Amino acid sequence: MEFSSKLIEKAVNEMSQLPGIGKRTALRLVLHLLKQPKEQTGFLAQAIVTMREDIKYCESCHNISDSILCEICANKNRNHQIICIVEDIRDVMAIENTGQFRGIYHVLGGKISPIDGVGPSQLNITTLVEKVKSGSVNEIIFALSSTMEGDTTNFYIYKQIGESEIIISTIARGISVGDELEFADEVTLGRSILHRVPFEKAFKNN
């Protein structure tokens, strides 16, 4: 792609570094900004720079936060004895949106993936193990991706925690709500039969 302006070219190149944004989309965004008032571009630039510079991570659960403790960890009405372990801050938002969980979270910051060069030391595992061993936790729930990497991470943490008397569970795997049975894969279907739940319990929280 040839640009008649070096300024445009530079802006497009920077924009196209973002995931899912190619050169063409980047150009469309840049030309859109050109048509808007100058302040708008200023606001956008300011917002992302401030966000990147001033963002903090919760000291307890490693969720993003504006203060030392995130709103969830600082909330005394939540059950601090149940920890839900997630990969990413996006997962916290997703689970919060369900409204089904009133405990606290622990954000690992990824999952163990040798292919991507991510080992246990790059994840927030030590602080989790310490928290569990301090005895203040009753239950931990693994809510990681249902993939090889997710399972590896689950297993690693499970081994690290060792023999403690807390309840360890993982989120249920089964048929998605609204899915037709005939299109479900065998492994999922098999698991959903293996981990069947009492009928009355299944519809309690629906």
Closest residue by Cα to residue 151 from 186, 113, 115, 108: 113
Q: Does residue 52 bind a copy of itself (CB under 8 A)?
A: yes
Q: Which residues contact 59 (CB under 8 A, 6 or more apart)?
A: 68, 69
Q: Assign residue 65 a region: left if phi > 0, alpha if psi is -120 to 50, beta otherwise?
A: beta
Q: Does residue 90 bind a copy of itself (CB under 8 A)?
A: yes
Taking the least distance from each CB to a copy of itself, the nearer of 10 and 173 is 10
Q: Does residue 42 bind a copy of itself (CB under 8 A)?
A: yes
Angle at 191 between CA 186 and CA 195, to 5 degrees: 155
Taking CB under 8 A as the criterion, the residue among 76, 86, 89, 129 binding a copy of itself is 89
Binding to a copy of itself by CB under 8 A, coded x per residue (else -) over 138-177, reads ----------------------------------------
Q: What sign does the CA torsion over 10, 15, 19, 21 have?
A: negative
Tokens of 103: 């405990």
Taking CB under 8 A as the criterion, the residue among 22, 59, 68, 96 binding a copy of itself is 96
Taking the least distance from each CB to a copy of itself, the nearer of 109 and 120 is 109
Residues that bind a copy of itself (CB under 8 A): 1-8, 10-11, 13-15, 17-21, 25, 27-34, 38, 40-55, 63-66, 70-72, 88-90, 92-93, 96-97
